[in-house]
Structure 1
C-alpha cells in the first residue's frame, strides 16, 4: 500500500513551515501568505499526490463528516489545533469542516445549524485560548467535545492543556538548577492559562519553602514590551531575582532584552523560562514549556469518533519542558 502523503512531507519538500502548509491547504481566510509561496505549496502537494482524505462519495457506509467551530485562527500556535484535527481525520478516514466564528455567537449558531443540515456525526467546539465558555444551546443537539475550553459547571467532555503542571515544571526546573530567588511574569491575570500556570508555580515553590511572595510577581499583556517593562521592575528590586518564569516566549524575549541592557548574563546571572515553545524559542535558546495542542486535537477527535458515551469530564494533556541555553543547557 502506498504511504499516505502528510502535510509534514509537503512542508519539507516546499521548504516552508508546517503551519504555512496547513493554512494554505485548509484555505484559512484572512491569513497573509505570499502568492509565490502559496503556489509552490500547492504544486508540491500535487506533485506528491497529496489528498486531504477520502472523498465523501468513496466512503460508502463509512461516510462520516465532522464539524469544527473555532473562534479564531490569528496567532502562531492555535493552527496546531487545526493541524491536529486534520491529521487525525486523515488517519481515521473521515472528513472535517472548519468554521471560524470570530467569537460571534450568531456565527456559531449559523455554523451549527449548517452542520445539522450536512448531517455531521459530531462537532468539536474549540477555543484559540484556554477559556471558560458558554456555547450556544444548539451545540447540545449534537454529539460534541470541547477543545481548549470548558463550561463553568464542567458538563460535557473537555480537552485542555495541563497548565498547572506546566507552571510546576518551570518552578521545579529552576529549583533543580539551584535558583532561589524565583520570580514570574504572567499574562493577563483574568485568563485561565495565567491562573493555572501561577497556581502550579506557587504550589511547587511553597513545597520547597521558596515562594518569595507578591513582590516577585508581575503581570503584563503577553507582549515583548510588557515582558521587558515587567523584567526591568523585577531586576530593580533590592534583591533581584536570579530566575524568571515568563508565561509565554514573547515575554521571555522581552525579559532577555532587559537582562542584556543591565549587563546581566543569561543564564549565569539570570535564568529564564518561557511558555508555548514557539519557533523562535529554539533560535534564541529559550527554555520553554510546550503547549500540547496537536495531542489535544487528536485526542478530541478520537473521543468524538469513538462509540463510547461522552461523559462529563475534563481531560488534561501535559506539555513538556524543553531545556535550552537560558537555563544552562546547550541546544
Structure 2
C-alpha cells in the first residue's frame, strides 16, 4: 500500500494530546489570554509540549500587517454540525497566510439567494478565488454566479466536472481499514454502515466489500447492519450483530461516533475490546484517542484538503480542471487487535 502524501506538521490537536489538555486551552495559552484562569502548571505543560514537538503557529487569528492584502472567499453550507469544516478552513487559512492572503468565510445553510449575494459582493471586492464547500461529501449544484470566479470545490463536486474539486478517497479508506483487519488475522468482519443516502457511508461500505472479495472472502449480509452515524445507531447495530447467527471477530464502524456506541454495547455484554472482540472506526475524531482501548480508525484528511484548495487557487499558472481524491490513511492504535 502506498503511503499517503500527508504533511507531518504538528497541530494544536497534537499539542493538546501531548499536554493532556483541551485544544481550547492550547489556543488560549498560545494567544496569551492571561485572564482565562489557566494555572501556571497547565501553561507550563502546554509550553513544554510546544517546545518538545516543535510546533509552529500558522498565524491563525493574527491581524494582517497591511490593509490591502489579497483575499480568498470560503463558502460552506454548515460549520457547527461537524468538527471537519473548521479543520478544512484552518487548512485553507494556513496555506493562504503563507502567501499573505486573507480568508473570508461565510456559512450559507444552502440558501441559494445568500450564496449569490455573497458571490456578487466578492466579485466587487476582487477576491483571488472561491472555495465552495460542503459538510457532506456529495455531488453539489453550484450557484450560477460561481462561474464568474476562479473556484475549487471542497468535499463536493459538480456533475459536469466544470470546477476543480477535492474529496476524500472514501472507498479506498474503507478498503485499507478492512485490509488491516484481514492482515491481523480477522475473518468474520462485521460492518456498521451510516445512513444509506450518504455518499460517504455507501463508499466506505463498498471499500469494505471490495477488500473482502479481493481476499477471497464472501460478503455475508448477516455481518452488515445499518447505523445512523450516531452513538445510538452504533450501540443498537452492535447488539443486533451480537444476537445474530455469526459472532464477529471485529466490528468495523463507518464512523467514530458509532464506534462509541459500539464500545458501550460490547461492555454491556461483558466483552473486552481488544481481547474478546475488536473494533475499527472511521473519521479519527478527537474522541478516538481517548476511548479505552484507543480506537484504531481512518483519518479524514480535511486539513490537507483545505491546503490543496488554497494552493490551487493561488497557483501562479492556470492549471487544468482537476478532480482529486485524497487518500485516507489508517491510524493504528489498539482496538483492532485479534482476540
Band the TM-score falls in, shorter-chain normalisation: 0.7 to 0.9
Secondary structure in 1 matching 2:211: helix
Question: Structure 1 residues 291, 79: closer, same or farther in 2, change over 3 A?
Answer: same
Aligned-pair CA distance for 1:169 = 1.2
Unaligned runs of 5+ in 1: 1-5, 26-34
Q: Does 1:308 align with 2:314?
A: no
Question: Structure 1 residues 128, 240: closer, same or farther in 2, change over 3 A?
Answer: same
Aligned-pair CA distance for 1:112 = 0.8
Separation in structure 2 between the aligned mates of residue 53 and residue 215 of structure 1, nearest angstrom:
56
Residue of structure 2 in register with 1:30 after alignment: none
Q: Does 1:151 align with 2:161?
A: no
Question: Structure 1 residues 136, 94: closer, same or farther in 2, change over 3 A?
Answer: same
Correspondences of 1:36-185 after superposition (within 5 Å): 36=36, 52=62, 54-57=64-67, 63-74=69-80, 75-185=82-192
TM-score (norm 1): 0.83
Residue of structure 2 in register with 1:197 after alignment: 204
Secondary structure in 1 matching 2:252: strand
Separation in structure 2 between the aligned mates of residue 186 and residue 312 of structure 1, nearest angstrom:
32
User: Of 287, 298, 305, which residue of structure 2 is paired with 1:280?
Assistant: 287
TM-score (norm 2): 0.81
Q: Deviations over 1:143-176 (max 9, x none)?
A: 1000111012333200111111110111101101
Aligned-pair CA distance for 1:89 = 1.4
Secondary structure in 1 matching 2:131: strand
RMSD: 2.9
Separation in structure 1 between the aligned mates of residue 248 and residue 187 of structure 2, nearest angstrom:
8
Residue of structure 1 in register with 2:23 after alignment: 17
Residue of structure 2 in register with 1:29 after alignment: none
CA contact (8 A) 2:157 2:165 kept: yes
Secondary structure in 1 matching 2:270: coil
Q: Does 1:295 align with 2:304?
A: yes
Separation in structure 1 between the aligned mates of residue 224 and residue 85 of structure 2, nearest angstrom:
27
Separation in structure 1 between the aligned mates of residue 77 and residue 37 of structure 2, nearest angstrom:
26
Number of residue pairs matched? 301
Unaligned runs of 5+ in 2: 1-9, 48-56
Separation in structure 2 between the aligned mates of residue 53 and residue 299 of structure 1, nearest angstrom:
24
CA contact (8 A) 2:171 2:203 kept: yes
